[in-house]
Amino acid sequence: MGYKIITISREFGSGGHTVGRRLAEELGIKCYDREIIDRVAEESGFDKDYIKEKGEYVPHGPFGNMMNRWSYYGPTNEEKIWQIQSDIILDIADRESCVIVGRCADYLLKDRDDVLKVFIHADMKYRAERIVRLYGETNETPEKRLSDKDKHRKAYYQVYTDMEYGDARNYQICLNTGALGEDYCVELLKQIFTR
């Protein structure tokens, strides 16, 4: 199909990030995730942790008219980060074949025919076990941590893209890592990208 870019949107804890990294390795192309944060930090002067949080999660509400405020009060920090991040993603996609994880890259590149847009998800039980295994226990239950992350990621996606987070119709393929296994998801995506 002549795909050049793969965007991976993913539920927190689903292993979508790992799938993206491994897929890029197998394909011998670069995976952009933290590199985008580094570049936003360089260009904006904001702290990396601050960008990581603001660049994918909306921590407050209501969100409906957030973008409309721009012209009246000047851009907020979130809006500045969004703008810089968007420019960086468009620039990367123009330059090279790669995997881009998260950060609404699917939306930013939605009009290109050479982008394989992927959504990775898994059920709560799979994700809960996974985040405890990888990130350890905290005072909050893993289910609560996941549902908070889901809520904020969904809000962020909706504010900036005006599309429904997790709607299959925004993607060419959606995969459940819990049911299919991370290894097999990497294999399937590699096959689709290279056919």
Footprint of a second copy (CB under 8 A): 1, 11, 119, 121, 123, 164, 166-169, 171-176, 179-180, 184, 188, 192, 195
Nearer to a second copy, 40 or 122 (CB): 122
Supply the minimum distance, in Å, between the C-beta of residue 87 and a second copy: 26
Q: Are 28 and 6 in contact (CB under 8 A)?
A: no
Nearer to a second copy, 67 or 180 (CB): 180
Nearer to a second copy, 37 or 118 (CB): 118
Coil, strand or helix: which one is 5?
strand
Supply the minimum distance, in Å, between the C-beta of residue 16 and a second copy: 12
Element (H, E) at 118: strand 115-121
Q: Is 24 left (phi over 0), alpha (psi -120 to 50) or beta?
A: alpha
Q: Peptide bond before 62: cis, by omega within 30 degrees of 0?
A: yes
Q: Return the half-sphere exposure (C-beta side, CA atoms, 13 A cut-off) of residue 178.
A: 16
- Report the alpha-carbon distance of residue 24 to residue 21 in Å, rounded: 5
Supply the minimum distance, in Å, between the C-beta of residue 120 and a second copy: 9
Q: What is the CA radius of gyration of the chain?
A: 17
Supply the minimum distance, in Å, between the C-beta of residue 9 and a second copy: 10
CA 79 to chain centre: 17
Supply the minimum distance, in Å, between the C-beta of residue 41 and a second copy: 31
Nearer to a second copy, 134 or 179 (CB): 179
Nearer to a second copy, 67 or 192 (CB): 192
Q: Are 162 and 62 in contact (CB under 8 A)?
A: no
